[in-house]
A and B are shown apart, each in its own frame.
Chain A
Amino acid sequence: MAEITLEGVTKRYPDGAVAVRDVSLAIADGEFLILVGPSGCGKSTTLNMIAGLEDITEGTLRIGGQVVNDKAPKDRDIAMVFQSYALYPHMTVRQNMGFALRLAHVDKAVIKEKVEEAARVLDLTGHLDRKPANLSGGQRQRVAMGRAIVREPKAFLMDEPLSNLDAKLRVQMRTQIARLQRRLGTTTVYVTHDQTEAMTLGDRVVVMRGGIVQQTGSPQELYDRPRNLFVAGFIGSPAMNFLPAAVEEDRLRTPLGDLPLDDRLRAALARRDAPREVIAGFRPEHFEDAALVDPERGGATVTVTVDVRESLGSDVFVHFALEGGAAAAEQLAELAADSGLADTGAGGPEIVARLSARTRAREGERLRLWLDTAQAHVFDPATGDNLTLPGHPRDTAAG
């Protein structure tokens, strides 16, 4: 049990490449912190530096108040769960789980007791004398977890521990990890590229991009108040819709149609040297079938042609394409590249709206959509900054 503090931690490789730049984080005792970002964003490198598997080029790392920059992994008293599980194939489950204790010269009877206790918690009791090769993926994952918990370390470090499981098992294990962490109350740093995992598991989420922390906050905070285009586009599924928009007097001219500016947006765009060309962002759930909305409510109404209708039972997703160019920004291009969508976006922008199940929208037909402009975000295309945030982001490092 300990807090972990990173102060200006930087990782620079001998060839000059910077994997992690000036990361400062204070992880409280017992906190569940998620590092999330696309591949190559430095999240795993950060975790490896906390574990001691990679050297820290600059900055200070403290675990439990002690500077551990130069300590070997074995002297840091942390446990790690690897994406590949990294179980020792020549040892049984029992030996795998007890390996760390055996190295620490813990009494054999105590090891047996602790391993059996952990096996009971993880439902592995029947498999203790089997080799990893004879276990299923989910069981291997649990052994990897067991190996971490028997040690009762100061902190758990988890490097995409669920990404090798199939979808259903992943959801199940996600809940189990959350429950286990709450029960043990051990400080946990969890790396993932899956924003759903990040949103559901963490007390706090750190979004990284290109080795730089983009935003740190609770999942809800990141969702409601993304600091820039990258965070806005990364967090949320389906992702936020982005549209190029031109500010004209009292309107926002977008491919969706002209939208009236309310006081909030007007204030945001009047601030400092706000650009005239911006990127507007709308979450899918900020659309609704206009027929189902109280006409008295503010917002804007636009008419679109429905391309695809996906019914999920509780909601209906409506996809439609718009004329005109798509929103272009460096951070959006990076997101598209990461999700593999970079070369599918031919033509105009694609919009996803999440409507109530009661909607009458049908494919190929015109639909009047209501849009909650009070929830809209406006971003500066050059810097990616969210112009609608109350206190303007001062500590957002420029990408």
Chain B
Amino acid sequence: MSTSPAQRRRIARWSVVNTAVVLYALFPVWWIVALSFKDPATLSDGSFVPRRWTLENYRGIFATSEFTRALVNSIGIALISTVVAVTLGTMAAYAVARLRFPGKRLLIGTSLLIAMFPPISLVSPLFDIERFLGLFDTWAGLIIPYMTFSLPLAIYTLSAFFREIPWDLEKAAKVDGATPAQAFRLVIAPLAAPGVFTTAILVFIFCWNDFLFAISLTSTTAARTVPAAIAFFTGSSQFQQPTGSIAAAAVVITVPIVVFVLLFQRRIVAGLTSGAVKG
């Protein structure tokens, strides 16, 4: 296939634009990665590539239990919140998409309201409530607010997916002899799987990245997650900034997210429902 000069110019123009955007997006990421491999002496030399590569920063953060414990908290809390929010969200979204029931608009309105509420305004009341209920500085103390704030998101994304599934499929399953539960499990759920995984990723990232609740509702390593724990990093001496350790920790917590997304990305296959009805 030969390309005309006009086409070549267009390709060249887009290549420049794309490269610029990618560089702009990846520059801070590379900067953090580079920082994490620099030793304290060259940390602030402004060099783009570490002059002396070292794993010292990584050894440092894993040397004490402060960071590893936070990592365990982060993984546990984010996973549990995701599983619970997606499970509840799936059921709620199915009802929202399929059924007509009194109070449906109210439910949708309320969940939208929660999603729009600025979390900062709820932090101090939550702090008091959790202290009173004894949930402060526990896993449950973080899982509950995470679930609350990610459920609207889950319901919204999932109900959009459920609406895409032709209702006739469910009717067909019922006529074929399925109970409502069987119709959901054998026909609807497999078709909604891409939506469920997409939602799971979004919810997981939300929980994993949260700093506000993590810093406000924890006080010890019992439930402190990584974003909060990083804020408590100290240098090896009083006068040293923990820049290297923070960079290393930032790289470490980025890895699970990337793995998580890559893992589930393969399940997000668009057009899974094609062929159900004439299209």
Contact = CB atoms under 8 A, between A and B. Distances in A.
Interface string A96-109: 00011001100000
B278 A88 contact: no
Given A90-B190, A103-B182, A134 B275 contact: yes
Nearest to A147: B176
Contacts of A89: 191, 272-276
Given A89-B272, A90-B272, A84 B277 contact: yes
A82 interface: yes
A104 B173 CA distance: 12
A82 B171 contact: yes
| Chain A interface category by residue count | 20 to 34
B96 to A, nearest CB: 19
Nearest to B168: A86
Interface residues of B, number: 25
Q: Max chain A CB contacts within 10 Å: which of B187, B190, B191, B278?
A: B278
A238 to B, nearest CB: 29
A100 B278 contact: no
B177 interface: yes
Interface string B220-247: 0000000000000000000000000000
A64 B172 CA distance: 22
A35 interface: no
Given A84-B168, A86-B166, A86-B169, A135 B275 contact: yes
Contacts of B176: 74, 79, 99-100, 103, 147, 151
Contacts of A84: 166, 168, 276-278
Contacts of A86: 166, 168-169, 171-172, 276-277
Contact of B179 (A74, A79, A132, A151): A74
A105 to B, nearest CB: 10
Interface in B30-81: none
Contacts of B190: 90
B175 interface: yes
Contacts of B175: 51-53, 73-74, 78-80, 157
A114 B276 CA distance: 23
B276 A88 contact: yes
A74 B177 CA distance: 4
Given A82-B168, A89-B273, A73 B278 contact: no
Contacts of B168: 82-84, 86
Interface of A: 51-53, 72-74, 78-80, 82-90, 99-100, 103-104, 131-135, 137, 140, 147, 151, 157, 164
10 contacts: A51-B175, A73-B171, A79-B175, A80-B172, A88-B173, A103-B182, A131-B275, A133-B274, A147-B172, A151-B176
